[in-house]
Structure 1
Amino acid sequence: MIDSLITSKTRVKLLLKFFLNPENRSYLRELADEFGESTNSVRVELNRLTDAGLLESHDEGRTKLYKANTKHPLFPEIRAIVTKTLGIDQLVDQVIKRLGNVELAFITGDYANGIDSGLIDLVLVGEIDRAYLQSLIDKLEKIIERKIRVLVLKRDELQALRDRFEGHVLVIWEF
């Protein structure tokens, strides 16, 4: 939804990066590498957002670091828009590409049944980079203020445990 309002994909990525977690601080090359974009396209959008007062920048040695301007009058509204438009499917899509060979991802338990108990049960099937997964879970728990319990299975393990997943299952990724 946000990309229909903001046509620059780079600007959307920057807003997501800085407004989901206002503690994020990044520099130009790091952002370009993370987004898989040219430094020039990222620089243009950083300059626009900084000129608008939405981002702050400061020099640290020879590096210019950027972060969200939490004192900007529109900060709470922009953050609310960003968090509302970033659905689980969009987040999972970006994350799964970096996790490894994910065949299936689904949510089960209370959250899949429409009950927000503060605990999200996530099941991933495939060959997963567990160290990267744990770093993502740690960050995501802070952002969404919920605990995430993850179970990583291989395809044959899923078949053996399929009956144990009671109630609704919310499939969020299938390859």
Structure 2
Amino acid sequence: MSAWEESSTARVIPPARPRKLAKVPFVELADGRLQGVVSSGSDIERVYVSSIAAGSYAFACSTNNNRPCGGARGFFCNHLLSLLGEAVLQYGAERVARYLRVEVEVADGVAATAADLAGAMRATRPELVDRSAAAPVFSRFLRHLAYLELAPGTTPLPELQWFPPSRAAVA
């Protein structure tokens, strides 16, 4: 067992490049999808929960009130394209492409872009998917926001006690 597996902290992978959180405050590669929360361009109180499934590229986009996005008809709406762009900034194009199982052809020595990934997925004609993922994604986003409001400290948080104990604590 490696040292990080015995630790009570998780490894944090630094972002590929810094990103601004105003447009896409939450993005993750989880549950077999690229998923996240995207701010509305027209209403400051509205956000969209967007996701793209790995492999099939099936997509969903709806408001936090579970109303479907008007732009997600036939292909990715601007919310999904923003999510994809921020994922490339956060994780890097290679990691996003590997996770979503997108094969992108680019010139030698040139890194893939979010537009390259979207173009490769467009060629498969993805379909709209069940929006049932929206609630858990939005809930996880709200939980992350709650952690930002906590005062810095070293006391354990009860909801994070699922970490396995270290061997020293067991002995």
Same fold by TM-score greater than 0.5: no
Q: Under a length normalisation based on structure 2, what TM-score does the superposition of the two structures give?
A: 0.30
Higher strand content, 1 or 2? 1
Higher helix content, 1 or 2? 1
Q: Under a length normalisation based on structure 1, what TM-score does the superposition of the two structures give?
A: 0.29
